[in-house]
Structure 1
Amino acid sequence: MKTEKPLLNASNMMLATVLVLLLLATVITMGMLTPLVAKLASGVEISLGPQYFNDRAAIPTAVLVLLLSTCMLAGYTARKNITLIVAGSAALTLISAILSPFGNIPMDISVPILAVATITTFHKIARSWNRDHSKTIRGISAHLIHLGILFILLGIVLSSNMKVEDSQVLNTGDMAKFEGQKYEIMLKSMSSQYQGEPYQDKPASSYTTDIDFDIYKNGKYFKTGQVKYITDFKWGQTYTTTYIHRGLTEELFIAPRAIEETKGELDVYMRTVPFINFLWGGMYLMVIGIIALGIIEYRNDSMAPITTSIAGNSGKGTRKQKPGKLEAEERYDELLEKELEERRAMRRKQ
């Protein structure tokens, strides 16, 4: 009697993962080619921003993360339990989308799925410990790569949907507050000077204004910073430097938009991005996992035992052979020699 192959198996999960990846690739490719096709067909230039890709890639990405959780659990628990966990994750996501605890639909959908997948990955890392040191490193390294991917996705979702930005105009000595942010800026001074070699009728190739300011966090002094506003005569353009402070839980970004030097007036932009370190941490985890996996594989290849035997009359000095093709060939030769010996014996009796 032929038994039916279960629906939840490695082949089907691999097929589903490949199909979802192809769908994501199709969405991204269409988004990249649409402006080019529109320009060639009608001469109209269009631009598709990040929101276009976010809206269309959200569902396939969520499905991909669910598949990752399923693959992580496969082989470590019963299929029934895997189905319950994945179904529970999907139900939790649906409830979160309805109740909207974060007040943001992308976060309401993404956070539960990513949280379940992260817990599953940590569970798999814990189960990777083995008496064989190389197997332990190999297993943990592979799962560090998975964990890095999840952290990158989590960092993108949280930082892009929780960032707060605002701009203010202030004079020298003034303190500026920014809406929705716990940081304030006090403009200390602005000083300008020419820099570079003389250019045409100008005494130098550029004109630079140094802008010094103090940053206050929750009403208390936090840091001192400086940015530059540069007018380049040679290239006919104006650009600025930026101030970036990366903390444990957030990133602070400050940049000047415009200055009125005669009035001592500055138009400054500030952005606070929470949880951006998940993205950088995910990249580091991926790099560590890839390097560790490469090292262990290289060591295994270079230290593989030689499948030869040093045979003596007493049988001493035989090396332990690695099961494989050479061992099978040697076993075949032994059986063949035994068969030939039996045939010779039969002929002698005749």
Structure 2
Amino acid sequence: MTEKESLLTSKNTIFAAVVSFILLALVIIAGMVTPLLAKILSGTEIMLGSEYFNPRTALPTVLLIMMLTICLLVSSVKPRKVLAATAALLLLLIAVFVVSPFSNAAVDVAMALIIPAFIATGYKIWLTARDKKGYGKYRGLSAHLIHLGILCILLGVVLSSNIKVEDSAVYQTGKMGDRNIQDYSLKITSMASRLEGEPYQERQASSYITRIDFDIYDQSRYARSGSVEYITDFKWGQTYTTTYIHRGLTEELFIAPRALDEKTGEVDMYVRIVPFINLLWGGIYMMALGIIALLIVENRSPHQSITMLQPSGREMDMAFFEKRYEKIMEHELRKLRSGKSGGGSK
């Protein structure tokens, strides 16, 4: 049991978490650099989307979350309990993957990993608030706030990318759309075009812009109004659009025109609904707040921070050797005293 306990330390688990994070970063960097290298070396333009990144980043992400969860427990729970919790987490992962309660492997694994991580983080926050005071308390709470932010970001990314709904439909100006995209439907209220920009060649302006106004209905009830623009740029020879984005408490609604026909008044609208996106933004703000709080605590307590940074294992070793030295000295003194008393009696 001694060898297992010596391996299961905060230092080793943090090292494993850092290695997992480096692997994750290398996979992401490779995916970002590959299109650039292909363009430079062969002139071929390629795009790597979620179908490339998701399967390759899955394993490093799973390892990272597990290591971060174990890191939280190692310093507060006995090694045997940490090993038992790790085994239970692995069994939970297997069971959730087999049963698939959300009918999506990525969401199933993410929930099975991140919910225990949230519980471990909440437990650690409670211990820090209960047992520590002053600098140690504020420093620990700031670090755990960063950890909560990272977990929210990971959960937000997985949920929003795997549960999002996207579709397109053709709408007639002045008529209610007969096709719902989840709970939403659109009604194009008006469509007006204008020329904009300086004259270009034989044209009166450099771009032709069509503004599309619409009403949004949620479960057949009016919710809000919006507008987008379909822009044809004569100078650059391309067409692009503006987008409508509404960020609600539980989801994000994204609308953009794909094509339009001014003669018939028809517009092909693309609609995307992204749930749980606020977990991502909330996690980013939470992590930033934790980093700022940690920097403030470190700057206000420089002497205490130096003391806190000393390795606890080294202090324990020094205390052990000091106690051992005292016992040896006491034993030698007893031998000397017994020798003197024996010589006096003779």
Query: Structure 2 length as normaliser, TM-score?
Result: 0.80
1:187-226 → structure 2 map (5 Å cutoff) = 187-226=188-227
List per-residue Cα deviations over 1:221-245 (Å, max 9, x = no partner). Answer: 1001111111222322221111100
List per-residue Cα deviations over 1:95-123 (Å, max 9, x = no partner). Answer: 11101111111111111101111111122
List per-residue Cα deviations over 1:249-270 (Å, max 9, x = no partner). Answer: 0000000011111211101000
Residues 30 and 242 of structure 1, relative CA distance in 2, 3 Å threshold: closer
Corresponding position of 2:309: none
- For residues 153 and 41 of structure 2, the distance between their equivalents in structure 1, rounded to whole angstroms, comes to 37
Deviates more, 1:174-183 or 1:247-256: 174-183
**Does structure 2 retain, via aligned residues, the 8 Å contact 1:163–1:272?**
yes
Residues 281 and 4 of structure 1, relative CA distance in 2, 3 Å threshold: closer
Q: CA deviation at 1:140?
A: 1.1
Corresponding position of 2:324: none
- For residues 137 and 242 of structure 2, the distance between their equivalents in structure 1, rounded to whole angstroms, comes to 46
1:76-87 → structure 2 map (5 Å cutoff) = 76-87=76-87
- For residues 303 and 103 of structure 1, the distance between their equivalents in structure 2, rounded to whole angstroms, comes to 50
What is the SS of the residue equivalent to 2:169?
Answer: strand
Q: CA deviation at 1:196?
A: 2.5
Corresponding position of 1:147: 148
Q: CA deviation at 1:39?
A: 6.8
What is the SS of the residue equivalent to 1:175?
Answer: coil
The letter for the 2-side match of 1:280 is W
Residues 35 and 221 of structure 1, relative CA distance in 2, 3 Å threshold: closer
Q: CA deviation at 1:156?
A: 0.6
What is the SS of the residue equivalent to 2:301?
Answer: helix
What is the SS of the residue equivalent to 2:284?
Answer: helix
Residues 233 and 30 of structure 1, relative CA distance in 2, 3 Å threshold: closer
In terms of fraction of residues, the more helix-rich structure is 2
1:242-321 → structure 2 map (5 Å cutoff) = 242-301=243-302
The letter for the 1-side match of 2:223 is F
- For residues 24 and 262 of structure 2, the distance between their equivalents in structure 1, rounded to whole angstroms, comes to 50
Identity over the aligned pairs, expressed in percent? 51
Q: CA deviation at 1:62?
A: 0.7
Residues 236 and 157 of structure 1, relative CA distance in 2, 3 Å threshold: same
**Does structure 2 retain, via aligned residues, the 8 Å contact 1:166–1:179?**
no
**Does structure 1 retain, via aligned residues, the 8 Å contact 2:5–2:79?**
no
Corresponding position of 1:115: 115
Residues 221 and 198 of structure 1, relative CA distance in 2, 3 Å threshold: same
- For residues 65 and 284 of structure 2, the distance between their equivalents in structure 1, rounded to whole angstroms, comes to 17
**Does structure 2 retain, via aligned residues, the 8 Å contact 1:230–1:240?**
yes
Corresponding position of 2:61: 61
What is the SS of the residue equivalent to 2:107?
Answer: helix
Corresponding position of 1:98: 98
- For residues 4 and 57 of structure 2, the distance between their equivalents in structure 1, rounded to whole angstroms, comes to 35
- For residues 217 and 133 of structure 2, the distance between their equivalents in structure 1, rounded to whole angstroms, comes to 53
- For residues 3 and 303 of structure 1, the distance between their equivalents in structure 2, rounded to whole angstroms, comes to 33
**Does structure 2 retain, via aligned residues, the 8 Å contact 1:93–1:110?**
no
**Does structure 1 retain, via aligned residues, the 8 Å contact 2:72–2:124?**
yes
- For residues 215 and 16 of structure 1, the distance between their equivalents in structure 2, rounded to whole angstroms, comes to 49
**Does structure 1 retain, via aligned residues, the 8 Å contact 2:10–2:75?**
no
- For residues 17 and 268 of structure 1, the distance between their equivalents in structure 2, rounded to whole angstroms, comes to 44
- For residues 167 and 3 of structure 2, the distance between their equivalents in structure 1, rounded to whole angstroms, comes to 64
Deviates more, 1:271-280 or 1:8-17: 8-17
Q: How many residues align?
A: 303
Corresponding position of 1:71: 71
Deviates more, 1:183-192 or 1:168-177: 168-177
Residues 246 and 33 of structure 1, relative CA distance in 2, 3 Å threshold: closer
- For residues 232 and 165 of structure 1, the distance between their equivalents in structure 2, rounded to whole angstroms, comes to 27
The letter for the 1-side match of 2:51 is Q
Q: CA deviation at 1:189?
A: 0.7
Query: Structure 1 length as normaliser, TM-score?
Result: 0.80
- For residues 267 and 155 of structure 1, the distance between their equivalents in structure 2, rounded to whole angstroms, comes to 29
